[in-house]
Amino acid sequence: FNQASAELHQRYSQTLFRNDKIREAFIEGLQALDLDRSRADTHLILADINLRSLNRPLWALFHYQEAERLLEDPARGKVTEQIGRLVREIEGRNLASPGQVENLEATRKFLHGQLARPVPFEADVNLPPPLAELPRPDAENYLMHLYHLLLCGPEENLAILYFQMAVLYREKLENPSAAAHYFTRAWNEGMRPDGLKAEIDRLEDHLTTAPLPWESKGPNPRPVPG
C-alpha cells in the first residue's frame, strides 16, 4: 500500500464509502487531501460524507468551496448551486452568519477558529496518558481533528501535527505504514527526538507484511460526533 499516493487514498476512500464504512472512508479522504489538496474529486467525497453521513454542513461547505475553486464548467456550475443551497441552510439553522461563510477563505478562518488546540505532547514516540487512555473511536476523532487543523490552519506547526498523527496511527489504528509515513514527515519538518530514526526504521521493516488499512477491522464504530 503506497502511503504517499494521494490517488490511491482517494480511490480507497470511494470504495470504503460505497461499502458504508463511513469513518474509514473519511480518514482515507483526509489522507488524500493532506497529500494533494488540488484534487476536486477528493473534496467532493469529503463534502458528501460531511453532509449526508456526519451532519456537518459547515465542513461540507468548506469542501464544496474548495472543489468549486478547482473545477471548470459545467461541473463547477452544479457545485456552485449546491453551495448556494447549503449557505441558505447554514444561515437558516443559525450555524454561521452570511459574512462568516461568504467565500472559501472566510469559511476556512471561521472553521479554524472553532478548532481546539492540539493536546500538549512531548517529543516522545509513546502516547501521553490523556491519549493513551482513549478508546479507538475517540482516538480516531482526535486524528480527524488533527487533519482539520492541517487543512484549515496554514500557520500550524506541521512537525507537531505529523508526529501526533504518527503515534496515533501506530498505537490506536495499528497502521504501521501510515505511522512510518507521518514519523518521516515530522522528521523532515525538524522534529528529531531520540529514538525516532530507529522507530522509523523498525516500522519500515514491517511494511511488507502489513495488511491493507481497515481490511481486518471489525464493525464500523459509532458515528463521528457533529
pLDDT tens for each residue of 79-100: 999 999 999 999 999 999 989 9
Does residue 213 fall inside a structural domain? yes
Does residue 99 fall inside a structural domain? no
Does residue 127 fall inside a structural domain? yes
Does residue 15 fall inside a structural domain? no
Quote the pLDDT of residue 147: 97
Does residue 150 fall inside a structural domain? yes
Does residue 85 fall inside a structural domain? no
User: How many domains does the chain contain in total?
Assistant: 1
Local confidence band at 188 (pLDDT 50, 70, 90 cut-offs): very high
Instruction: Write out the residue range of the structural domain in which residue 199 sits.
Output: 118-226
Nearest 10 degrees: Cα torsion 219, 136, 51, 76: -100
Handedness of CA 126, 157, 39, 102 (dihedral sign): positive
pTM: 0.89
The string of pLDDT tens digits covering residues 110-135 is 999 999 999 887 777 778 778 888 89
Place of cell 492541517: 150
